[in-house]
Amino acid sequence: MSIDTDRIEGLVRELLLALGENPDREGLEQTPRRVAASLEFLTSGYRQDVQKLVNKACFHQETNSMVIERDIELYSLCEHHMLPFYGRCHIGYIPKGRVFGISKLARLVDMFARRLQLQERLTEQIAYAVKDAIDAEGVGVMIEAHHLCMMMRGVEKQNSMLVTSALLGSFRENASTRLEFLTLVSKPRLS
């Protein structure tokens, strides 16, 4: 599914007029095209598929030890105001004979983040995609993010951060597994 960039350009031009701006002035004359291109990229996750993204990047590995990739940068747009939110995602899983290629977890985060989102939904989508792709014994996902809709408008709280988590399988059922995950993703980063 492709987006209708011509229509978006026209709508952005109308928006500029409705704001009292002149869309033909020097600084704005290319803005409708730029906004359409930006939105095409920022919503590209709608046009991706988990199976194709993971492709052949799941490998057989006989291990049932926890695997964690943390501090994955994410950028998304909140569906309520279409303003950005940004932060870090931490993913842990316990494999049952299959592991991900190292870049695939970050690519999964990007795929789901490049949609109009709620952070709560984003967290769960990532967790279920990881679990389903390799039939993991358990999955934990934590996202910490700053929302510009909270910072630039509304309550204007500059230091607020929303933290969400999704725990599936052994991460939900086993307290020690859950604690191990939360402890490891909370450790200070190495320099």
Read off the pTM.
0.94
Distance CA 103, CA 91 (A): 12
State the pLDDT at residue 91. Answer: 98
Active site residues: 78-81, 119, 147, 149
pLDDT in tens, 152-185: 998 998 889 999 999 999 999 999 999 999 999 9
pLDDT in tens, 71-126: 999 999 999 999 999 999 999 999 999 999 989 999 999 999 999 999 999 999 99
Helix segments in the chain, DSSP class H: 5-18, 31-42, 50-54, 102-113, 119-134, 148-151, 170-173, 175-186
Confidence of residue 191 (pLDDT cuts 50, 70, 90): low
pLDDT score of 190 more than 90: no
Three-state DSSP at 67 gives strand
Domains plus CATH for the chain?
5-42 (no CATH), 51-186 (3.30.1130.10)
